[in-house]
Chain A
Amino acid sequence: MASALQTRAPAPPGNPDPVIDMTGISITFPGVKALDGVDFRMFPGEVHSLMGENGAGKSTLIKALTGVYSIDAGTIAMQGRQVTFSGPAQAQAAGIATVYQEVNLLGNLTVAENVMLGREPHRLGGINWRATRRRAKEILQRLHLDIDPNSLLNSHSLAVQQLVAIARALDVDASVLILDEPTSSLDAEEVAELFRVIRDLADAGVAILFVSHFLDQVYEISDRLTVLRNGRLVGEYLTDELLRIDLVQAMIGKELSTLEDLENRKRSSEAGGASSVPAFLSAHGIARKGAVAPIDLTIAPGEVVGLAGLLGSGRTEIARLLGGIDHCDAGTIQVNGKPLKLRTPRQAIAHRIAYSSENRRSEGIVDELSVRDNIILALQADRGWFRPIPKRRQDELAQSYIDTLSIRTPDADALVRNLSGGNQQKVLLARWLAIAPRLLILDEPTRGIDVGAKAEIQKLVVSLAENGMSVLFISAELEEVLRLSHRIIVLRDRRMVADLPNENLDLDALLALIAEGSEADEQAGVTS
């Protein structure tokens, strides 16, 4: 390919040899050229961010490097020697440690077993459990993670599980550490903690490949950036020399003014949204033991209500109650003024309340079914099995959502499993939109997806609300919550601490509310 024409940043001072040097990498999947002549290199002691939209080829490039995919063309050199990995185990043995985007651990084993799996210390032909636990504890302490190595992994939060995954990768004596979206489920403090660990490792000479959709984090941690777009290399840059706006442009290949637009549209619709229409849904004192303390909440038609709070503050738990996923121990819910007992998601859907889970892979998509089947699933389940949606209508539905949400897929028959994360998210959104919900509950709809798709989803939320749909919007990115919501409910420690219109609210004010009353360091740890 014409890689010589692309920008390439100078090597770091001292001109060390790259530890990883990939040239001309191409990989083709059925119907998609996932990578097309991509060059990529990593230097020891540097944090290198791989940037790009969904489907740009980031995950594919990582899997090419770690031997998960075999490459169709190109070469990979490690420390100057050409290598071919026929599987992740070989790459790992060669010193490439990887933490994948989705937590890939065994929830029904203990923390220690997860950290040490496959390399437990042995004694007398059996596993030395005491040494295994001790070693695991040491590694966890390096991450300042004070948990019992003997506890089951499932008993910990997603954030802790993520750190355990990193602990597991760290145990390998690695010269390259790959972190694919390591921060997407971490709160600010945990991110700061992780970054400290990453810095330590880089100082020790480890080359770190960092993938994140949070631009702030990328700018905070990386020394070098490589940008991919549609499976091709855009360029390699030094972070200090690349303006954010230029980075975003390099990633999406066009000017991004939709966000400014959005701001204006939301403001203009606010006048209408805030008027005193009767609430679509109102909940009084709903609670669930161990999950949410009693709260009151109302949502009017056409209103976007944001739930803001740290990870574990009860955001998701409230959303699950309203979506019928879990049921309330106490309190009442009224829909259109009529009381409603929500016991199953099915009942919620029958009342046109849709909950889009934050766990896209485990609770959202049905990965071995086609894009079409995934899109019609909820609608079909609601109609009942004996009233199938006619084939032609199915095709029309699928195609119209593929077009309007610009889902990148060869066709409606493609398995959802083969789509990139952002496109899977769009398929999931299409499933909920297909039932024509009156209340759409979006739990982290933009997590782990790129800037372009993010903007599209945000735009969609605004226009859905303009058309009278109520939206309950949850995101760890407070900027996003602020940008989209008419009203914001602030949660802390599973309690509602504020419910206020989004007027004259800025990030600092919101952070103050989230942190209100607690230690000041909680606020200081947040990157804004």
Chain B
Amino acid sequence: MSGFFTRALSNRLFWPVVMLVALLVVNAVAVPGFFSITINADGHLFGSLIDILRNGAPTLIIAVGMTLVIATRGIDLSVGAICAIAGAVACSIILDSPDPGGLWTVTVAVATALALSLVLGLWNGFLVAVLGIQPIIATLVLMTAGRGIAMLITEGQILTVESAPFKFLGSGFIVGIPVAVIIGAVLFSLAALLTRRTALGLLIESVGINPEASRQAGVRARGLLFTVYGFCALAAGIAGLILTANQTAADANNTGLFIELDAILAVVIGGTSLNGGRYSLVGTLVGALVIQTLVTTVYTVGIPPIATMVFKAAVVTAVCLLQSPTTNAAFARWRDKLAAGRRVPAEAVAK
């Protein structure tokens, strides 16, 4: 038992998971029946946990892309703006179409929005990989300019759409599970398979840790950077469509506002260093869940709105402290002591 405990403690996901469990317990105490999941009359799953998954899906989707970008030593600040652009493009196409509720219209709208997102991601990749601009600056360009582009597309209006197939993306259900959750799960699995079943993950980590050594080993960093920035922007586009569909309106100013910061936070809580290198998609998943559960907790525990930000800050600070190298070193010493205590009697027996 204690062997399992010391092993678990050395895992970098230990503290994020503890934090997630602690938050869930707090909720369960505050709201009896927090864990209950029921099936309502329409055959849809229903419950607080389902809400957390559904509302956390856009952040998770972006955070998955962000994880890969951060693993290459980069960062992508433009994801929030891309959310807004994707939503604006889709809504304006649907509005201009004679048949806003048609499946074909929505397919064209979604495809166009995602294609544009991908192009914007490749633009980021171009700035970083070809022009060698520092990622934080390169993506800052689109972060600020992107909302302007979205504004031009919506002509400064909030575009409200009445389109059942489009709305389905944000609030629909497939075999009882929210569509947003399914999209999140598919994207997450796809990213995990694509990077870990191929050598993509190894090469990304290698470039993130030591770009020059990787170049000399024949790794094509340029292609990798295009890939990760493109993928991250595509993920942002998907998240933007989910957010927009959920509100059934494109708001150039507010769709995906500050979501880049939540996504970065999810990655960091998940144990991936901002210095690049080793990354953990599972960690990012836990991180995204911690953030969304935190938001839910604020409501269930009834923290007054004015104190919300402070509460959130306190929890995030706690997670970061628990993960800091200093704290980890202290825990490592403690662990060694535990291990040494166990080993001595074993050696004595052997003699």
Interface size class of A (residues with CB under 8 A): 20 to 34
In the assembled complex, the CB of A240 is this many whole angstroms from the nearest CB of chain B, namely: 43
Q: Which of A325, A373, A380, A385 contacts B216 (CB 8 A)?
A: A325
Write the chain A residue with the least CB distance to B275: A368
Q: Is the CB of A377 within 8 A of B209?
A: no
Q: Is A346 an interface residue (CB 8 A)?
A: yes
Q: Which of B200, B205, B210, B219 contacts A365 (CB 8 A)?
A: B210
Residue of A344, A355, A381 with highest tally of chain B CB at under 10 A: A381
Q: Is the CB of B198 within 8 A of A367?
A: no
Residue of B199, B206, B219, B224 with highest tally of chain A CB at under 10 A: B199
Interface residues contributed by chain B, number (CB under 8 Å):
22
Chain B 181-232 interface residues, beta-carbon cutoff 8 Å to A: 197-200, 202-203, 205-206, 209-210, 212-220, 224
In the complex, what distance in Å separates the CA atom of A101 from the CA atom of B220? 31
Q: Is B277 an interface residue (CB 8 A)?
A: yes
- Contact residues in A for B278 (Cβ distance below 8 Å): 368
Write the chain A residue with the least CB distance to B196: A388
Q: Is the CB of B212 within 8 A of A380?
A: no
In the complex, what distance in Å separates the CA atom of A79 from the CA atom of B203? 51
Q: Is the CB of A355 within 8 A of B219?
A: no
Residue of A350, A363, A387 with highest tally of chain B CB at under 10 A: A363
Q: A345-B215, A368-B278, A377-B217 are in contact. Are A388 and B199 (CB under 8 A)?
A: yes
Q: Is the CB of A363 within 8 A of B212?
A: yes
Chain A 349-395 interface residues, beta-carbon cutoff 8 Å to B: 349-350, 355, 357, 362-369, 373, 377-378, 380-389
- Contact residues in B for A380 (Cβ distance below 8 Å): 199, 202-203
Q: Is the CB of A365 within 8 A of B213?
A: yes
Write the chain A residue with the least CB distance to B220: A346
In the complex, what distance in Å separates the CA atom of A91 from the CA atom of B12? 32
Q: Is the CB of B210 within 8 A of A366?
A: yes
Q: A365-B210, A365-B213, A373-B206 are in contact. Are A346 and B199 (CB under 8 A)?
A: no
Q: Is the CB of A431 within 8 A of B209?
A: no
Mark interface residues in B323-338 (1 if CB within 8 Å of A CB, else 0). Answer: 0000000000000000
In the complex, what distance in Å separates the CA atom of A325 from the CA atom of B214? 12
- Contact residues in B for A323 (Cβ distance below 8 Å): 216
Chain B 63-108 interface residues, beta-carbon cutoff 8 Å to A: none
In the assembled complex, the CB of A84 is this many whole angstroms from the nearest CB of chain B, namely: 16
Q: Which of A344, A349, A388 contacts B197 (CB 8 A)?
A: A388
Write the chain B residue with the least CB distance to A431: B217
Q: Is the CB of B209 within 8 A of A385?
A: no
In the complex, what distance in Å separates the CA atom of A378 from the CA atom of B31? 55
Q: Is the CB of A373 within 8 A of B202?
A: yes
Q: Is the CB of A378 within 8 A of B217?
A: yes
Write the chain B residue with the least CB distance to A382: B218
Q: A368-B277, A385-B200, A389-B199 are in contact. Are A357 and B206 (CB under 8 A)?
A: no
Q: Is the CB of A345 within 8 A of B218?
A: yes
In the complex, what distance in Å separates the CA atom of A348 from the CA atom of B215? 12
Q: Is the CB of B216 within 8 A of A363?
A: yes
Q: Is the CB of A381 within 8 A of B209?
A: no
In the assembled complex, the CB of B263 is this many whole angstroms from the nearest CB of chain A, namely: 23
In the assembled complex, the CB of A255 is this many whole angstroms from the nearest CB of chain B, namely: 34
In the assembled complex, the CB of A318 is this many whole angstroms from the nearest CB of chain B, namely: 16
In the complex, what distance in Å separates the CA atom of A323 from the CA atom of B216? 9
- Contact residues in A for B218 (Cβ distance below 8 Å): 344-346, 348-350, 378, 381-382
Q: Is the CB of A363 within 8 A of B220?
A: no
- Contact residues in A for B200 (Cβ distance below 8 Å): 385-386
Chain B 123-165 interface residues, beta-carbon cutoff 8 Å to A: none
In the complex, what distance in Å separates the CA atom of A384 from the CA atom of B200? 9
Q: A366-B209, A369-B209 are in contact. Are A357 and B216 (CB under 8 A)?
A: yes
- Contact residues in A for B277 (Cβ distance below 8 Å): 368
Q: Is the CB of A388 within 8 A of B198?
A: yes
- Contact residues in A for B206 (Cβ distance below 8 Å): 366, 369, 373, 377
Q: Which of B203, B210, B213 contacts A385 (CB 8 A)?
A: B203
Write the chain A residue with the least CB distance to B276: A368
Q: Is the CB of A381 within 8 A of B220?
A: yes
Q: Is the CB of A385 within 8 A of B212?
A: no
In the complex, what distance in Å separates the CA atom of A366 from the CA atom of B204? 12
Q: Is the CB of A345 within 8 A of B217?
A: yes
Q: Is the CB of A367 within 8 A of B209?
A: yes
- Contact residues in B for A368 (Cβ distance below 8 Å): 205, 209, 277-278
- Contact residues in B for A364 (Cβ distance below 8 Å): 213, 216
Q: Which of A362, A384, A387, A389 contacts B213 (CB 8 A)?
A: A362
Chain A 314-367 interface residues, beta-carbon cutoff 8 Å to B: 323, 325, 344-346, 348-350, 355, 357, 362-367
In the complex, what distance in Å separates the CA atom of A365 from the CA atom of B212? 10
Chain A 410-436 interface residues, beta-carbon cutoff 8 Å to B: 431
Q: Is the CB of B215 within 8 A of A362?
A: no
Q: Is the CB of A377 within 8 A of B212?
A: no
Q: Which of B203, B209, B216 contacts A355 (CB 8 A)?
A: B216
Q: Which of B205, B212, B220 contacts A369 (CB 8 A)?
A: B205
In the complex, what distance in Å separates the CA atom of A366 from the CA atom of B276? 12
- Contact residues in B for A344 (Cβ distance below 8 Å): 215, 218
- Contact residues in A for B210 (Cβ distance below 8 Å): 362-363, 365-367
Chain A 278-310 interface residues, beta-carbon cutoff 8 Å to B: none
Q: Is the CB of A363 within 8 A of B213?
A: yes
Write the chain B residue with the least CB distance to A350: B218
In the complex, what distance in Å separates the CA atom of A209 from the CA atom of B213? 32
In the complex, what distance in Å separates the CA atom of A493 from the CA atom of B215? 28
In the complex, what distance in Å separates the CA atom of A54 from the CA atom of B206? 26
- Contact residues in A for B203 (Cβ distance below 8 Å): 380-381, 385
- Contact residues in B for A366 (Cβ distance below 8 Å): 205-206, 209-210, 213-214, 217
In the complex, what distance in Å separates the CA atom of A367 from the CA atom of B212? 12
In the complex, what distance in Å separates the CA atom of A248 from the CA atom of B215? 38
Q: Which of A346, A362, A382, A384 contacts B212 (CB 8 A)?
A: A362
In the complex, what distance in Å separates the CA atom of A381 from the CA atom of B202? 10
In the assembled complex, the CB of B38 is this many whole angstroms from the nearest CB of chain A, namely: 43
In the complex, what distance in Å separates the CA atom of A357 from the CA atom of B203? 19
Residue of A368, A384, A389 with highest tally of chain B CB at under 10 A: A368
Q: Is the CB of A386 within 8 A of B198?
A: yes
In the complex, what distance in Å separates the CA atom of A369 from the CA atom of B209? 8
In the assembled complex, the CB of B300 is this many whole angstroms from the nearest CB of chain A, namely: 40
Write the chain A residue with the least CB distance to B277: A368
Write the chain A residue with the least CB distance to B219: A381
Mark interface residues in A395-409 (1 if CB within 8 Å of B CB, else 0). Answer: 000000000000000
In the complex, what distance in Å separates the CA atom of A366 from the CA atom of B216? 11
- Contact residues in B for A363 (Cβ distance below 8 Å): 210, 212-213, 216
- Contact residues in A for B198 (Cβ distance below 8 Å): 385-388
- Contact residues in A for B217 (Cβ distance below 8 Å): 345, 349, 366, 377-378, 381, 431
In the complex, what distance in Å separates the CA atom of A388 from the CA atom of B196? 9
- Contact residues in B for A345 (Cβ distance below 8 Å): 215-218
In the assembled complex, the CB of B218 is this many whole angstroms from the nearest CB of chain A, namely: 4
Residue of A346, A366, A380, A388 with highest tally of chain B CB at under 10 A: A366
Residue of A349, A377, A388 with highest tally of chain B CB at under 10 A: A377
- Contact residues in A for B199 (Cβ distance below 8 Å): 380, 383-389
In the assembled complex, the CB of A65 is this many whole angstroms from the nearest CB of chain B, namely: 20
10 contacts between A and B (CB under 8 A): A344-B218, A345-B215, A349-B218, A357-B216, A368-B209, A369-B205, A381-B218, A385-B198, A387-B198, A431-B217
Question: Which residues of A are at the interface with B, using a C-beta cutoff of 8 A?
Answer: 323, 325, 344-346, 348-350, 355, 357, 362-369, 373, 377-378, 380-389, 431
| Across the A-B interface, the 7 shortest Cβ-Cβ residue pairs | A346-B218, A381-B218, A349-B218, A378-B217, A388-B199, A381-B219, A385-B200
14 A-B pairs besides A365-B213, A373-B205, A388-B198 with CB distance below 8 A are A346-B218, A349-B218, A355-B216, A363-B213, A366-B210, A373-B202, A380-B199, A380-B202, A381-B219, A381-B220, A384-B199, A385-B224, A386-B200, A388-B199
